Amino acid sequence: MPPADPTPPYLPGAPYVAYRDGELWVEDVPLAQLAREHGTPLFVYSLAALRAAAAAWQQALAGRDAQVCYAMKANSTLAIVQALVQAGCGVDIVSGGELARALRAGVAPDRIVFSGVGKTRAEMRAALQAGIGCFNVESRAELEVLDAVARELGVRAPVSLRVNPDVDAQTHPYISTGLRDNKFGIAHDEALDAYRHAAALPGLQVVGIDCHIGSQITTIAPYLDALDRVLDLVEAIEADGIALHHLDLGGGLGIEYHGEQPPTPQALVQALLARLDARGHGGRRLLFEPGRSLVGNAGVCVTEVLYLKPGTGKNFLIVDAAMNDLPRPAMYEAWHAIAPLRPRSDLPAIEWDVVGPVCESGDWLGRGRRLAVQPGDWLAVGSAGAYCMSMASHYNTRGKAAEVLVAGARSQLIRARETVADLWRQERVLALD
């Protein structure tokens, strides 16, 4: 790839998402070409970026007994999961639907871990029949049900307990999961008792311990706090005669959306390994469950400017992508970079609120953004690889966007745009009088 332009508009994802020759490219494909070919809104991902992100985690763990399990709820599109599985990742799933997708993507079942507070009996059965590596159990009640389901099938379910270390990940309250008041995990002071209970159930095989403290975490300190709390438990549990084969430290590593400087996987893992070594746990098998940090900055969403609506108080820029495609601003007031595919110098830049067509005041993608644009121009919404398409909905009877994966100068449609017929396929018109 030739060098990028010197002062491009701001958009994370370099070098895979970058300006050259006055326009925005993903790897060696100009985004305008893809927008013309496939229409908008359009998600575009870089295969090289996915592979580089997986390699960063794996290289950080080189020489250790470790497995990176991609938390596929971040982006569950089959080809994306396939790409990460082919790059050597296992998968962290949170539903029977994700189990089916993970298997379809070709992951070895023993590299699947199953998280989530509300697994149903049917989901447990499917996961046991597939032979997954570990259930991350989140409550005593779930232990009982899993034990019963496993015994019905004549197997033993491999389990970790997800413990709640009660540390503050210092992130948005909706994506913080390690505090005492969250619905997730088993409280630290109940964990030893829960492990004794699990070890006594004949349908269960205790294999590890698990924690996941939140998402978009941009400092190392909360991870070290959580690790210390988990290691205290590991020592107490093993002193009680229950062996823990692996330690799952969850996901949650943040990415750059807007100038954040999260630690690299290398820096985070190094700090954790140093603490593990110092406390004499260096030889233990490790699992990580990153989602966002594997896919977030590997993707952008291309949208077309529909209308300019200047006003006395605010100027609105209406685009064809909306909260149903990119739910993070509406859900978390999240900030995503928004930049033109082809920056113009023939128009003045004005401050706009960038909004979608959906009938909700919460349907905005960015506020107070300086942009020089006209109707028909294309914009890229940055950092759109994680928690965008996987959270997309059909609100306002809008079909889901198309998705394209780029590899070098080649590109492949990995999800066709949904039609109205797709949307109402399961509906039946009124037949009663």
Ligand X SMILES: *Cc1c(COP(=O)(O)O)cnc(C)c1O
Catalytic residues: 359
- Going 8 to 11 to 15 to 16, the CA torsion angle's sign is negative
Dist. CA 165–CA 174, nearest whole Å: 17
Helix, strand, coil distribution of the chain in percent, nearest 5: 30, 25, 45
In the complex, the smallest distance separating the C-beta of residue 314 from ligand X, rounded to whole angstroms, is 32
Q: Is 289 part of any known ligand binding site?
A: yes
Q: Is 428 part of any known ligand binding site?
A: no
For residue 41, is the peptide bond before it cis, meaning its omega torsion is within 30 degrees of 0?
yes
Nearer to ligand X, 73 or 336 (CB): 73
Nearest residue to ligand X by CB is: 291
Number of Cβ within 10 Å of residue 407's Cβ equals 18
Nearer to ligand X, 174 or 307 (CB): 174
Which stretches of the chain bind ligand X, using CB under 6 A?
71, 73-74, 92, 115, 212, 215, 250-253, 289-293
Nearer to ligand X, 213 or 355 (CB): 213
In the complex, the smallest distance separating the C-beta of residue 223 from ligand X, rounded to whole angstroms, is 12
Residue showing tokens 């529909």: 306
In the complex, the smallest distance separating the C-beta of residue 245 from ligand X, rounded to whole angstroms, is 19
Q: Is 328 part of any known ligand binding site?
A: yes
Dist. CA 259–CA 15, nearest whole Å: 16
In the complex, the smallest distance separating the C-beta of residue 93 from ligand X, rounded to whole angstroms, is 10
Q: Is 257 part of any known ligand binding site?
A: no
Amino acid at 209: I
Nearer to ligand X, 260 or 422 (CB): 260
Q: Is 387 part of any known ligand binding site?
A: yes
Q: Structure tokens of 70? A: 């991609």
Q: What is the DSSP string of 165-207?
A: ------S-GGGB--STTSSSSEEHHHHHHHHHHHHH-TTEEEE
Q: Which residues are annotated as a binding site for pyridoxal 5'-phosphate?
A: 252, 289-292, 387
Q: Which residues are annotated as a binding site?
A: 252, 289-292, 328, 332, 360, 387
Q: Which residues are annotated as a binding site for substrate?
A: 292, 328, 332, 360, 387
